Chains A and B, each alone.
Chain A
């Protein structure tokens, strides 16, 4: 019933009253009432978009870090990851690699509890500080969801949009504007 056009009885008086009243018959669309839930809600499966396969130097352990022992002391990187020195703009300026990356296993991240998580589960790490965002992200209120609204959803992980070392969303080149009728639309 909801959303359908009303079917007026063909009586002039009634029609008139109706026309002057609520012509599209949306009385049932009370602004605080939601429509009836569907008979069957498709079971929802949410897949978090994996990140690991997108990282060009992964696994870190076998590509570079195997040959060198971890150096836990904080310092300016001069040999590798030098761009991180300039790029790092996240949280405490005194932050350091091993705040998030595991010293024991460079292919893993370390969360507040000390547990190790994969790069695909980076949201667990981010959520350690940004709990409100993690909560919203889990509910699909924050972050990007793709796939099918009917059930099979793909959720982009935090690091899919935010560079964890510089998480401010990057500036973008906007698409061209529509053509305003003042200029050029007249052909």
Chain B
């Protein structure tokens, strides 16, 4: 059982987040503010019923308010709770943080297809950095192997196994969340559990997601993953440097995705996939910076984006260097 033995500190079940008065990220639908206690009581009672129903007692996060409504105090409390829970569950001391977007930054990614040789180091580094479960084994980055001379998804293979790559006659196309400027997944979410941050990162509030998977249906790039099973990360594989809306351990039944390693990139570092790429095919930078790598690439190289005709305006560019 995942919930037994919770320390009282780990489960402040009497603290519904509805008491959060601040409302920074304006919700799409704001029908006037109501007294917080009423909301808290309602939310808590609904959640309590649901908590009983799902058999998840103190381990659940059904009381937490939406990320955008959390005050600094709420965040501190919730982060501490998650840290304690993680310590209890895995024995690993982790640090949860929520780095904020920087002014004048819009992230973009570029990938040189003439260099990618399909070695999947990116997908593997991503899995470690972002605490992807060991079981079941899925990846945020799907590296597609295609016949040279085609760009045909239908005949692509993401499950190739070879002694060495690249295989003659094949080309490789890694696909991950494209962090669209017009993200279809964000549009469809019924509870605003996913949104595009000011720096262009499309993120998910794992505590708010109801797990309806409408966003997965809406994504043209297979950019999202749902936790069909309880995700299990071996303690030795856990990356303790965790972002609340990025790589912290996710509960079962919610959708997760690539965040361009928000916990790294918002503090100035490069995404893990880029650092792991031995061919240097991956480029990352600030689209707003005229001297940034991605901007220079955009101005000097012929680029294309996947499924441009869908109007999603991806911030992930492919080019041939």
Contact = CB atoms under 8 A, between A and B. Distances in A.
Interface string B260-281: 0000010011100011011110
A8 B165 contact: no
Main SS class of interface, B? loop
A35 B268 contact: no
Contact of B160 (A3, A147, A174): A174
B124 interface: yes
A127 to B, nearest CB: 15
A172 B164 contact: yes
Interface string A27-42: 0010100111111110
B159 A178 contact: yes
Interface in B144-170: 158-166
Interface in A166-185: 169, 171-180, 185
A10 B288 contact: no
Main SS class of interface, A? loop
B279 A161 contact: yes
A39 B159 CA distance: 45
A149 interface: yes
B120 A3 contact: no
Contacts, number: 173
A10 B26 CA distance: 13
Interface residues of B, number: 76
B29 interface: yes
Contacts of A185: 136-138
B119 interface: yes
B118 interface: yes
Interface residues of A, number: 51
B300 A187 contact: no
Contacts of B199: 3
B296 A41 contact: no
Interface of B: 25-26, 28-31, 102-106, 112, 115, 117-121, 123-124, 135-139, 142, 158-166, 181-183, 186-187, 192, 195-200, 229, 265, 268-270, 274-275, 277-280, 283-293, 295-297, 300-301, 313, 321
